[in-house]
């Protein structure tokens, strides 16, 4: 079975460790993955004579890998094994979306004039989406013309503070001092999802309400591996409840359930940091590709973390597809010690089985590669906003596409009112949700691209690979340096 725990623990204390020094990465404590378990156990005696190392064969890796448990110092042991020619790596941890001056390249947001408006840069002029399809009311949402983007919020000190270099928008590897103590110790932080006004949601609710769901959707066009789907009880968004034959939980509702407050145990009546992540993504895909069949599986914890072995198991468990193929959306990632061979092997298997893999590039504002986005053949996605490249997006030659990822509107928990309160009477309640939310991050740029690919498949009868050739790789498409092809469909 998957490594995702059936009983969530309070935070990720004991579940996630972070290496120190340059090239930091997150990993599961005391676990090493190797292809030579017997040789590894022999070599363990040199370093850890007092420890008994346990070995598990990983069924998801089809006999290729084994997992060693009770390893006292994972980075040291991996280096030791590699010195003797033994293939080994940590069991990396990825996050639903680290600051690292890795290459000295200026951020794309600075190259595009920083805070310039949409008319000051070419991002919103891509000819690919000038067709009548994308001029229809479904795609003509007023989100980017709303007063939200003309308000002083985006010029306030809030957006110049350490918050945007903090784990609110990234993984704990590069946590700022503001959050480091409690966040790194427990994994607990506030969710960055924000409620919306009824007026904000009205047009999108109407558009999704017009989507006709067939009696049986058949195989999914888009598979999402994430925090699961809100599909039971009073928390399920009305918009998704009306599309229950299209937007479905992978493995059944109980296994894929996405709820607002699962940890700590007992719950604290606060919205969990990554709660609703998968539900939000499902709505985005349906918004961009109305009528697409979407299946959402749970591989991430409520705090947003998921380990490489468990995620790889889920990827390799997906069924083989026919020549038409399907889209696999992975809105998570992280930095690694060297190369994440376990998830790389799983992604290769998925690609061979007919899936086009789309993955978010990360929210750290750096050019250091994140995985699985930087794996070969993956459509890695950065974020743009109303003024061009989003200041938080990761970037580099390894990023193949970019899409809207700032203040997006999508489906969220219905009728959830948490314990958090407004700063003062002039601010809205920060965790009073009624089926919709606004959220920012490359986590949400990725499903925009996944939806654009699915739309091409549905509208024009293309295969998944043909959709990539048209939407991502077409020679005449608008591109940004270090952010790839602009896929602006919102």
Judged by DSSP in three states, 102 sits in: coil
Q: What is the mean pLDDT of residues 261-271?
A: 82
Alpha carbon distance 394, 390 (integer Å):
9
pLDDT at 361: 97
Alpha carbon distance 94, 305 (integer Å):
6
Tokens of 427: 């601010």
pLDDT digits (tens, 9 = 90+) for 25-45: 999 999 999 999 999 999 998
pLDDT at 203: 87
Query: Which pTM value belongs to this model?
Result: 0.84
Alpha carbon distance 466, 472 (integer Å):
10
**Block residue for tokens 């290729």:** 64
H or E element at residue 385: strand 379-385
Answer whether residue 69 shows pLDDT above 90: yes
DSSP state of 160: G
- E-strand stretches of 183-309: 222-226, 247-249, 294-298, 305-307
The more confidently predicted of residues 388 and 137 is 388
Answer whether residue 170 shows pLDDT above 80: no
**Block residue for tokens 């599986």:** 297
Tokens of 409: 């509107």
The more confidently predicted of residues 140 and 369 is 369
Answer whether residue 150 shows pLDDT above 50: no
User: What value, to the nearest 5°, has the Cα angle with vertex 441 and ends 264 and 240?
Assistant: 70
Q: What is the mean pLDDT of residues 382-386?
A: 95
Judged by DSSP in three states, 62 sits in: coil
pLDDT at 10: 53
């Amino acid at each position: 079975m998957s490594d995702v725990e059936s009983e969530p623990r309070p935070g990720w204390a004991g579940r996630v460790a972070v290496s120190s020094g340059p090239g930091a990465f997150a990993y599961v404590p005391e676990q090493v993955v190797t292809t030579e378990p017997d040789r590894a156990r022999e070599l363990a005696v040199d370093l850890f004579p007092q420890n008994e190392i346990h070995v598990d064969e990983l069924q998801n890796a089809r006999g290729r890998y084994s997992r060693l448990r009770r390893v006292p110092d994972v980075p040291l042991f991996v280096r030791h094994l590699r010195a003797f020619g033994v293939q080994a790596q940590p069991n990396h941890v990825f996050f639903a979306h680290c600051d690292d001056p890795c290459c000295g390249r200026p951020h794309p947001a600075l190259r595009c004039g920083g805070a310039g408006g949409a008319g000051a840069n070419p991002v919103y002029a891509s000819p690919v989406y000038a067709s009548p399809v994308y001029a229809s009311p479904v795609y003509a949402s007023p989100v980017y013309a709303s007063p939200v983007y003309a308000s002083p919020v985006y010029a306030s000190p809030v957006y110049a503070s350490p918050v945007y270099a903090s784990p609110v928008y990234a993984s704990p590897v590069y946590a700022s001092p503001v959050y480091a103590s409690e966040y790194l110790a427990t994994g607990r932080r506030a969710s960055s999802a924000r409620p919306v006004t009824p007026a904000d949601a009205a047009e999108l609710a109407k558009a999704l309400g017009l989507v006709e769901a067939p009696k049986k959707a058949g195989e999914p066009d888009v598979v999402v591996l994430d925090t699961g789907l809100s599909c039971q009880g009073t928390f399920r968004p009305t918009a998704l409840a009306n599309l229950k034959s299209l937007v479905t939980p992978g493995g059944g509702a109980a296994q894929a359930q996405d709820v607002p407050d699962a940890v700590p145990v007992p719950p604290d009546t606060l919205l969990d940091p990554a709660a609703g992540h998968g539900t939000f993504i499902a709505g985005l895909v349906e918004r961009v590709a109305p009528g697409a069949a979407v299946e959402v599986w749970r591989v991430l914890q409520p705090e947003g973390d998921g380990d490489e072995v468990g995620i790889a198991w889920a990827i390799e468990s997906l069924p083989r597809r026919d020549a038409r193929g399907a889209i696999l959306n992975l809105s998570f990632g992280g930095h690694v010690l060297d190369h994440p061979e376990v998830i790389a092997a799983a992604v290769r298997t998925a690609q061979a089985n007919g899936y086009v893999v789309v993955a978010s590039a990360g929210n750290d504002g750096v050019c250091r590669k994140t995985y699985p986005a930087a794996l070969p053949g993956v459509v890695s996605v950065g974020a743009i906003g109303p003024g061009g490249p989003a200041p938080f997006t990761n970037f580099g030659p390894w990023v193949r596409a970019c899409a809207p990822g700032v203040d997006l509107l999508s489906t969220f928990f219905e009728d959830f009112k948490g314990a958090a309160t407004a700063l003062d009477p002039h601010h809205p309640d920060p965790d009073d949700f009624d089926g919709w939310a606004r959220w920012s991050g490359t986590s949400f740029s990725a499903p925009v691209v996944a939806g654009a690919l699915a739309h091409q498949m549905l509208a024009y009868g293309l295969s998944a690979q043909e959709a990539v050739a048209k939407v991502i790789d077409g020679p005449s498409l608008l591109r940004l340096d270090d952010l790839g092809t602009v896929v602006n469909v919102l």
